[in-house]
Structure 1
């Protein structure tokens, strides 16, 4: 069986935050923001994947968008693969938006093939997912049906079902399909009726290979998802312990052993759980969430020390267990002493603070490539992001940026520059130097309440009172504002 989710990315995002409007996910590609996935209402408006966002908004001004997250889409697809094991034990991924199920010997448990497909459709529909299903004797034919003619191909019906379908149903490369179509070969049956020697001589071997796989002349295996390896170690003690030094010594042995296992798998722990079983069968648990994937035993043990010190040993601890609850890939890296030590210290500080207030509450500013000042940055959790190397600014920007604040100004026409004197935040300030103007226009294709007044002419000014400010003037509604302060 082939399950194809034609709108997997968009529906995953809408499951988390529904909207009642045309919706699309965007991805920066080929130097522009393009549509990555769409909801049905956006498709009905004439939008297509790959369109630039500017072009799409000209077709559909009401379009709502969010940035895509291919990594989250793949995690969601893996979750669906685990869910699909309720129907059969053999489930594999098919690209970035599909699954293969080997239901041999499983269909009768649901009352047959039709009831099985109906049950899958109903459950996915309740979950807000649209899916197309194809069932056949071979994975190639099942894939063709799910993508081009949803349904079931019974025994001996393979060629009859896929014969009228276009060549793309054989999973051929676009270039190969186009070359065949230029010769007048548009369907699978037309390709099948050609002499095999002619096809082999003029085209890549993949053409006959895919055709034979679809017809069952060549085997095609489904690679099932393997279980993620678990990382956990346990230490059973012959005599109960209760002193902090003894408990930390036991924890050290476990941490070192676990880090060795992570090192062999090229993984790093992101979340750890240290459990202590007391002789009265009560459990004490210390959880540690890390700002970065880690497998350094000395650093991990130091971060555990505060939590272990708060453990109530009672009448003694007779078992200690350490589990890596969440792991991530962590390959080898070249270290320099100064840079690595400074970065590790920052990560450890974020970890220590995050385990008190929550890692998601420790945030950092990340640059965004936008000429709109209010959109030139975003706040992201520091534990799940890396600091940017440079801010994409073509001209100097203030160190502190805040919402525009009006000022009281008089004494000079805007055409000659900023006013020599103005009043801001209850203080009278005088300008001794100014540089500008820098005209910034709003993004006309996006709605932004903060830019409803149109153009802005920005000036960098130095005041006699020692402050360096970022002022702007709105020509269409003559007023002056302060929006930032330079360091």
Structure 2
């Protein structure tokens, strides 16, 4: 099963466009066509063509940047859809699928009826697909890209003989060399002596030919399903006590944590679903500050949510699923290891169940000499206390917007009023000149350079003042503890 316009079909499914359309991708410092729809192909455009040349041929061409990662995710979605026809489905490059329908065609009324249903489902979903069916993987690949049809069982040469040698999955250089020798079709290649071909081109052309004709076996390796971290328990008798629910959740949690440990992963979010006898279901969601797979640390965090569940006439089914999973590799134990970080993560998780993980924040250092930009505020659950605060001069613990005060000259004033207080300067340390970051737009730094002073007043206030030489003026921006 080949999807010649996989990328453009994915975009046009969500945002339909009337007229020629193409996706562009930058290659070798030039924007080139990555994928295009049928209307653009009929106008003579093709893949690899530069966008400027394409617009010269077609001024009405509409384009968007390509997203190969999104295209691959879409191909995985199609692979999962294809499992409705057979359980053995694998990827064929970045734009195709390979299916082993042995023993499954009769469920759809035969091979022809199965292919007809595939085409109908793809057309309904807005996906262009070409399908080839044969006894071998190589023959099916050739038919999907060059013939689209069925090869009679036991007679692949009848369907493949007229196809070009490019249908044998050969590289472009080998195909060109074969065509120069006059070997343009698979039938002509089959009729040629094998020894001279092997000496000149190596084993690759003959191997691909034998695979297409069934002389050499070629396996289909299905893509493994991603691991599922979920467990379910059906109870013989309804329960309603909080202790019974927690005991059932503990059994489910142990099974999920065993799977997580086998995959070296940890859960960041879990969902406990409790179904009552009246078919109503209630969910208890839990988000963790760090990936975990330790049942003893996760289970107590469910107590608050379980205590709010209305059991009604009883709960007869429980389901626990890790809805978000992140890698958690095994770490080497050390005699200097400590559990202080683990306890802090548990505290953040416990508080997060009450007020939300996003509302628990920490200050982190930032690479900037501007006082207001010397730190960032990040959620504690999604950041680590990394970096260090490096400053040649002390910085105040309290920063606020600059507040003007009366003063003149390059040195701090001896007497000034600030926040309705009369202050007298006892000692001033400075200046520390800080230049603005010209590449950033900040209205507070439009005045240019600033000369900062550490001022200690007789009234006990320790303030951070600065003077602006370009526009003479004095301001208070911080206070030391």
Cα gap change, 1:315/1:142 in structure 2, threshold over 3 Å: closer, same or farther?
closer
Alpha-carbon shift at residue 39 of structure 1 (Å)? 1.5
State TM-score, norm by structure 2. Answer: 0.61
Alpha-carbon shift at residue 164 of structure 1 (Å)? 2.8
- How many angstroms apart in 2 are the aligned matches of 1:116 and 1:241? 48
Consecutive unaligned residues of structure 1, counting only runs of 5 or more, are: 358-381, 388-433, 439-459, 467-487
Is the 2:270–2:286 Cα contact (8 Å) retained in structure 1?
Answer: yes
Alpha-carbon shift at residue 6 of structure 1 (Å)? 0.6
Which of the residues 430, 449, 462 maps onto 2:447? 462
Cα gap change, 1:28/1:257 in structure 2, threshold over 3 Å: closer, same or farther?
farther
- How many angstroms apart in 2 are the aligned matches of 1:289 and 1:317? 23
Match of 1:332 in 2: 329
Is the 1:4–1:98 Cα contact (8 Å) retained in structure 2?
Answer: yes
Q: Please tell me whether residue 8 in structure 1 is matched to residue 6 in structure 2.
A: yes
Match of 2:139 in 1: 141
Q: Spell out, residue by residue over 1:138-182, the C-alpha distance to the aligned partner (whole angstroms, 9 max, x if none).
A: 221121011012222224542243223222211123333334334
- How many angstroms apart in 2 are the aligned matches of 1:81 and 1:26? 25
Q: Please tell me whether residue 24 in structure 1 is matched to residue 9 in structure 2.
A: no
Match of 2:397 in 1: none
Match of 1:126 in 2: 124
Alpha-carbon shift at residue 341 of structure 1 (Å)? 8.1
Higher alpha-carbon Rg? 2
Cα gap change, 1:172/1:248 in structure 2, threshold over 3 Å: closer, same or farther?
same
- How many angstroms apart in 2 are the aligned matches of 1:353 and 1:191? 72
Is the 1:267–1:327 Cα contact (8 Å) retained in structure 2?
Answer: no
Match of 2:282 in 1: 284
- How many angstroms apart in 2 are the aligned matches of 1:345 and 1:21? 56
- Across the two proteins, how many residue pairs are aligned to each other? 380
Consecutive unaligned residues of structure 2, counting only runs of 5 or more, are: 359-378, 385-434, 440-444, 451-464, 466-481
Aligned pairs for 1:213-292 within 5 A: 213-234=211-232, 247-248=245-246, 251-252=249-250, 254-269=252-267, 272-277=270-275, 283-288=281-286
Is the 2:290–2:345 Cα contact (8 Å) retained in structure 1?
Answer: no
Match of 2:370 in 1: none
What secondary structure sits across from 2:17 in the alignment?
coil
Aligned pairs for 1:413-452 within 5 A: none
Aligned pairs for 1:147-186 within 5 A: 147-155=145-153, 157-186=155-184
Cα RMSD between the aligned structures? 5.0
Q: Spell out, residue by residue over 1:276-320, the C-alpha distance to the aligned partner (whole angstroms, 9 max, x if none).
A: 355777543224577997646577557645533422244665764
Cα gap change, 1:327/1:176 in structure 2, threshold over 3 Å: closer, same or farther?
farther
Q: Spell out, residue by residue over 1:25-44, the C-alpha distance to the aligned partner (whole angstroms, 9 max, x if none).
A: 34455455543322223333
Is the 2:301–2:350 Cα contact (8 Å) retained in structure 1?
Answer: no
Alpha-carbon shift at residue 93 of structure 1 (Å)? 2.8
Q: Please tell me whether residue 79 in structure 1 is matched to residue 64 in structure 2.
A: no
Is the 2:289–2:345 Cα contact (8 Å) retained in structure 1?
Answer: no
Is the 1:267–1:330 Cα contact (8 Å) retained in structure 2?
Answer: yes
